[in-house]
Amino acid sequence: MRRGLLSDYFDGVAVKQLSAVEANALRSNQHEFNSSKQLKSLLGTPDRVKYPTIFVWIGGEQEALSEEGFLTWYQSRKLPRREHRLYFPTNAVCDAAAEGDVLFIARRTDNTLMAIIVPGHSTIQNQLLWLFGLEMQPALQFESLEISKDNAAELDFTARYILDELGIEVEEPEADRLDALIEKFGLVFPTTRVLSDLARTSLPQVSAVDDPDAALTAWIDREEQLFRRLERHVVADRIKNGFHSDEGTDVDGFMSFSKSVQNRRKKRAGLALEHHLEAVFSAHRLRFDREAETENRNKPDFLFPGQEEYRNLAFPAERLTMLGSKSTLKDRWRQVLSEAERITQKHLLTLEPGISENQTNEMQAKQLQLILPQSLHETYLESQRGWLMTLGNFVELVKERQRAE
């Protein structure tokens, strides 16, 4: 199925790390950046342009901030020493900036801008660097990159995940084909298992036996497309019918519906991942229990070979394996650490790209092995990749342990 490209949404980006002076300036009444060769490459050299801008701040577990505003790129000095400056208005996003944060100025194809501020050396920083194709860590001077069809990332599941974090909804290039697959559901969401089954059967050429990593990403990608397309129809119908109450417009009803949409997305993503992992393990004829109960009523997502062997203290602990699965992590990976006391090294599979080096270092210290589909490894720093496992690696590990029984 064809994919869109990042160049359909952006045509350039500049990035820099904020110094203490710049972070303070963003929170004062004089928040301006002086011109640089890289900013001129991104914005040109007009006398004065006022760009409609979406300001975004994303950081850690805190709620993301988003605010509409503008950026003014203007010539502060005339020839022969032409100098441009970029002016920021006061807003909540700029107020959240701190020394060491990273600023992305991204130019949209509709000639608007996004100003994105994220913590330095964070997961979201790594994700944005990968998305925009920037290989170097941000320095105190702007670096820029033109985004074209030749160098733009394809909007696969990983790219769409990051764009979703920025509040950008990606249009599917083959909507008619997706509509044909979900037509039988009408305006009713099927169970997650039914939609997961449909995603897999719609891709008969994909083989979990031949390539478990590629199979998992293809199935997850397809299910995400199917779900979002069905969701679009359901939401459009609900909006068409309106939100009304005896007092007039039902604001509470609208807010409740919006929250339910977000909650459904999160819950479905985690269940879908478990369904597709189950299909991979079954294809390789691994023995496992899903959500078996261990100590203190903990229920790891997958336990190999199963609950019976885990509870049998005569069964060697080194032949037991547990796997947690979380579509996204944030700080929730620590939940896995207490889920099976007999197993010293835990395994955790996620679809989260570009997790920060600080977090992966802590995982190693806690004897938690991170697993990602092969295609996501490129979103991580070179220093992290040697430690990461693929799903194929994990399947072979479990096979080896089960052959030794």
CA 308 to chain centre: 36
310 among known catalytic residues: yes
Cα 238 to Cα 332: distance, rounded to the nearest angstrom: 33
d(CA 66, CA 59): 12
Q: Which residues contact 350 (CB under 8 A, 6 or more apart)?
A: 325, 326, 327, 328, 329, 333, 370, 371, 372
Instruction: State how beta strands 346-350 and 321-326 pair.
Output: parallel
| 177: three-class secondary structure by DSSP | helix
Cα 10 to Cα 314: distance, rounded to the nearest angstrom: 59
Q: Which of 51, 161, 310, 380 is catalytic?
A: 310
Closest CA to 350 of 322, 369, 366, 367: 369
The H or E element containing residue 181 is: helix 175-182
How many angstroms separate the CA atoms of 203 and 178, rounded?
12
Beta-bridged to residue 248, according to DSSP, are 245
CB proximity list for 265: less than 8 A, separation 6 or greater: 227, 231
* Start-to-end C-alpha separation, the chain: 43
CA dist 141 and 16 (Å) reads 6
Residue spans of alpha helices (H) in 112-156: 123-132
| Residues with catalytic function | 310
